[in-house]
Structure 1
Amino acid sequence: MTETQETGIDPVEDTKARVLAAALPNVVFDGWTDRAIADAVRDCGVDPGLARLAFPRGGIDLALAFHWANDAALARRMAEADLGALRYSERVARAIEMRLELVAPHREAVRRAAALFALPIHAADGARAIWHTADTIWTALGDTSEDVNWYTKRATLSGVYSATVLYWLGDDSPDMEATRAFIDRRIGDVMQIEKVKARFREHPIGKAVMAGPGRILSHVRAPGQGADDLPGRWRR
């Protein structure tokens, strides 16, 4: 029995964490590649077979492991943070800032990951990663949406976060001042859209639309509300 089995630690997850830690210094030079994994496996002395299980698709899985690890760290940090004195929009802004602060020491690794996820072959992985970050933030903020709003909140935040990351990669201002201002502007834009949507719902035409064609949206349910593992469900 291995040491990780004796302690109850998943050997694949343990391998993933160790390889990622060993690979990060070299990603700056080698990118998120199979070579980065091979060098990390050699440096940290993990079993090559477990490494193949941990990263079956090679470099793209290594980049995703980096993203998931920082999302998990964000969830822990938000659980410990006192955001109660902030307005809701300010809490969202602070969550985005926290996520960037976590990866600030690895800016070049993030740049390399952004370039990798921009490739058409990996675009779906990139979209899934950004969505996961948005979901992490909304879940940590206590979002209780069970209808179509579950999707629209995450879709909107995904757009704000992805734009912010690209802006941040080129930001050399002290303490991310320019990026923080950029976040405030983007969230301000979203709030204006929400105000327009609220006025539309209160307008007679809007009420007619929501009672007619728009009623279809009332049947959409968030994941976890049904009896299966589909990414959502339709209520009859």
Structure 2
Amino acid sequence: MPPRLLRLSLHFLSARPAARLTRTTPHYPPRPIPTSTSSPRAYHAYDRPTPPPYPPTETAILTAALGRVPAHGFSKTALALGARDAGYLPVSTNLFPAGEMELVKFWCTKARLGLGGTVEKEGLPEGGVRGRVKELVRRRLRMNVEGGVVGRWGEAIALMAHPTYAPTALAELSRLADEILFLAGDASLDSAWYAKRAALAGVYAAAETFQTQDTSPGCVDTERFARERLGDVESLGKAFGDVGEWVEFTVHGVLNGLRSKGVRL
């Protein structure tokens, strides 16, 4: 994610009406979190769309199109080939007014909702929210590798940075941060509820930017980068008294972290 969009994302996440910061309960009610595979429970995220986010036809085309992304990128060509692979005419891509951005959004949504599935199957480590957040971020970044999109993710970031699509990208980033902290069992009741999500969104956006240039096997350097940046937020976050100060620290921290790893900004 380019620096400008990263800053916008943090502003988007932190710019809440003051009255909402005085709520005595989280924006979403807490739900039980499955933490082990020994006693699995059904996973129902507060923002999981019902019915599914895409109708069956669109889901079939977009799913098939994702299989074409490694060779053709997040492109209209991938969409057209996906329609053909799913048994539809290429003109069926008219179902997606946003074109290739719809393919990016589909992947982000699919991966975000998939985090809950990994919790059901694999559980989460013991030891508190911080460790679980790090593990969930690692799993989400790993999805880009295992899903075959990491080599083309620079194209996705460029699309998300476009002024037309930036609001959609920021909204999805907000949902991802919310999902990770929810699954990790975060129960913040004050302004930290917003600050943590803003900080996490900034770190994750920076990690994905780093991942586009990561040549290490399985992008393990990206996972290390994310752990370090999350550690920075943990060690210094308590020193800040409000959301604005936390977000300002996070912006500078993640950008400096990217520069230290050789990413050109």
> Normalising by the residue count of structure 2, what TM-score does the alignment of the two structures yield?
0.63
Quote the offset at 1:85 in angstroms: 2.1
1:178-210 CA deviation, whole Å, 9 max, x = no partner? 22221221011101222313xx69xxxxxxxxx
SS in 1 for 2:238: helix
Query: How many angstroms apart in 2 are the aligned matches of 1:80 and 1:141?
Result: 15
Letter in 2 for 1:18: A
Alignment match, 1:6: none
Between structures 1 and 2, the one with greater helix share: 1
SS in 1 for 2:67: helix
Quote the offset at 1:155 in angstroms: 1.0
Alpha-carbon spacing, 1:146–1:48, altered in 2? closer, same or farther (3 Å): farther
Quote the offset at 1:174 in angstroms: 3.1
Q: Which 10-residue stretch deviates more, 40-49 or 68-77?
A: 40-49
Q: Which 10-residue stretch deviates more, 131-140 or 154-163?
A: 131-140
Identity %: 31
Alpha-carbon spacing, 1:15–1:84, altered in 2? closer, same or farther (3 Å): same
Question: Contact conserved, 2:61 with 2:82, CA < 8 A, in 1?
Answer: yes
Tell whether 2:177 aligns with 1:134: yes
Query: How many angstroms apart in 2 are the aligned matches of 1:66 and 1:16?
Result: 13
Query: How many angstroms apart in 2 are the aligned matches of 1:159 and 1:119?
Result: 18
* Structure 1 gaps, min length 5: 1-8, 202-236
Higher relative contact order (CA 8 A, sep 6+): 2
* Equivalent of 1:179 in 199, 214, 222: 222
What is the CA RMSD across the aligned residues, in angstroms?
A: 2.7
Q: How many residues align?
A: 190
Letter in 1 for 2:84: R
* Equivalent of 1:81 in 99, 102, 122: 122
Alpha-carbon spacing, 1:94–1:57, altered in 2? closer, same or farther (3 Å): same
Query: How many angstroms apart in 2 are the aligned matches of 1:145 and 1:46?
Result: 47
Alignment match, 2:62: 20
Alignment match, 2:4: none
Alpha-carbon spacing, 1:79–1:63, altered in 2? closer, same or farther (3 Å): same
Tell whether 2:84 aligns with 1:42: yes
Aligned ranges for residues 174-213 of structure 1 at < 5 Å? 174-197=217-240
Question: Contact conserved, 2:66 with 2:103, CA < 8 A, in 1?
Answer: no
SS in 1 for 2:165: helix
> Normalising by the residue count of structure 1, what TM-score does the alignment of the two structures yield?
0.69
* Equivalent of 2:213 in 170, 173, 182: 170
SS in 2 for 1:120: coil
Alpha-carbon spacing, 1:31–1:172, altered in 2? closer, same or farther (3 Å): closer
* Structure 2 gaps, min length 5: 1-50, 243-265
SS in 1 for 2:214: coil
SS in 1 for 2:124: coil
